[in-house]
Amino acid sequence: MKFFCQQTLLKVKKIKEGKMPYTKLQEKARVKYVTVKQFMEQYSLSKSQAYKLLNMPEMEDAIIKTGEKGIRVNLDRAFEIMQQMYA
């Protein structure tokens, strides 16, 4: 029990000094998903062009469904996929 308390106190000290993140979530950058409208504006696409592009099987990794019809797009991943498709 004594060993466990010492480890916990050591971790708390490192967190206060800023040497350790508070949680595991703070270590990773969160992926930002945007709406189709923002995706269209980013790449200057029409609505039909955007949906045709997002419905391609290659783009499955870049989109996430919200509810029954809603779609959100990971801009970074979509850009990588489009680079591979059109390079």
Q: Give the span between the Cα atoms of 77 and 73, in whole angstroms.
A: 8
pTM of the model: 0.63
Q: Quote the mean pLDDT of the chain.
A: 80
Residue 27 has pLDDT above 60, yes or no: no
Q: Which pLDDT tens digit goes with each residue over 30-42?
A: 788 999 999 999 9
Q: What are phi and psi of 48, to 5 degrees?
A: -65, -40
> Across residues 47-69, what is the average pLDDT?
92
Residue 50 has pLDDT above 70, yes or no: yes
So what's the pLDDT on residue 74? Answer: 92
